[in-house]
Amino acid sequence: MRTYDFTPLYRSAVGFDRLANLLENASRATSQDTGYPPYNIETTGENAYRIEIAVAGFSPDELNIEVKENLLTVTGRKTANDDTATQKTYLHRGLAERDFERRFQLADYVVVNDANLVNGLLSISLKRELPEALKPRRIEIGAGQPLIEGQAEKKAAAA
């Protein structure tokens, strides 16, 4: 396992502490990642994304999606199948029925549009929605009167 020291970044950069924390948390999360459940992250447009998580065996009421402070958390809590009347004896049990929690750090202005569970895949659609104040806008350039040297002073004296 490789660790990175971001201390020099804290000493020489101002205002990048959030980015350094993200990198630090990502490297820590990767080392602790169990790989369950598997997932894909894809881009579906210029500012659109989709996360697909393989949640076979989970029903919609056993899944929870929450967004808080740019952190998307998907949790699965499997309800117990402990009916004594229908007790099962497995020869091999390869389907995971364990609880999980997956976390995804979202960039600023990325919002969750919707989520669907189809054929064991939980699809979460995301979109970056920039506020109007941050969107690029075109500034019109006016064709003002050309000033000839000395005319501005004459007009000011006449007024």
pLDDT in tens, the chain (159 residues): 566 676 776 666 666 666 667 777 666 655 556 788 999 999 999 999 999 999 988 999 999 999 998 899 999 998 765 454 467 788 888 877 789 999 999 988 899 999 999 999 999 999 999 888 877 888 888 887 766 666 655 555 565
DSSP string, 12-47: H-SS-HHHHHHHHHHHHHHHH----S-EEEEEEETT
Report yes or no: 99 and 80 within 8 Å, Cβ to Cβ: no
pTM, two decimals, is 0.65
> What residues does 49 pair with on adjacent strands?
43, 126
